[in-house]
Amino acid sequence: MSQNKITGTVYVVGDNVDTDQIIPAKHLVYDTHSPEERKLYGKYAMSGVPEDKSGLPKGGVKFVKEGEFESEFPIIVGGKNFGCGSSREHAPLALQIAGVKAVIAQTYARIFYRNSVDGGFLKPLESVENIFKSFSTGDKVEIELDANKITNKTTGKTFELRPLGDAADIINAGGLFAYARKIGMIKPKAEANV
């Protein structure tokens, strides 16, 4: 898939989704370097979002199905202040492990945005207006990064996104350190260990 297009089904949440809802603190015990434990971050991603959270579907569609470690939803659409709460970098990491490629929200908590970019975990895209009520969980969507837009293929409606700017280069490189190596700001890992 092109780095300029992201397609898939969307999971919808409302305003003020905090990091403890994205990955509850009780799940921060797993070793991110152990493949078996690391995948548990994906299993429990978005497990703290309450069913009555504005924008969630009635009946509580689970972000990750029982017994699975990845979500069927590679795109999350939220409202304002996505990723508020604590500064845990496990929040965007858990979403990445769960298979999320992009989150679209009108605004982000600054630390969640920075952690998403610095770790190269996912694309934190900003919508020009608050659009989460224009989507339903399960809608098919297409994000065109070059055109700065998201299209709800289910309804046919298109919405404007703000450009990622220089953050796109960091995310596409795999994070801040990978980007710094790529542009020669720091030595490649092999040279740095000499």
**Tell me, which fold does domain 5-163 have in CATH?**
Aconitase; domain 4 (3.20.19)
Give the per-residue pLDDT at 54: 45
Query: What local confidence, expressed as pLDDT, does residue 1 receive?
Result: 42
Rounded-to-integer distance, Cα 153 and Cα 69, Å: 26
Q: In the prediction, which pLDDT does 113 show?
A: 97
pTM of the predicted model, to two decimals? 0.91
Ordered mean pLDDT values, 10 residues apiece, the chain (194 residues) = 84 94 94 95 93 57 92 96 91 98 97 96 97 94 97 97 95 94 86 55
CB contact at 8 A, 113 and 101: no
88-119: buried (b, 16+ CB within 10 Å) or exposed (e) per residue? bbbbbbbbbbbbbbbbbbbbbbebbbbbbbbb
123-126 and 102-105 as β-strands: parallel, antiparallel, unpaired? parallel
pLDDT of residue 47: 92
Domain boundaries, the chain: 5-163
The whole-number pLDDT of residue 183 equals: 92
Q: Looking up tokens 């980007």, which residue turns up? A: 179
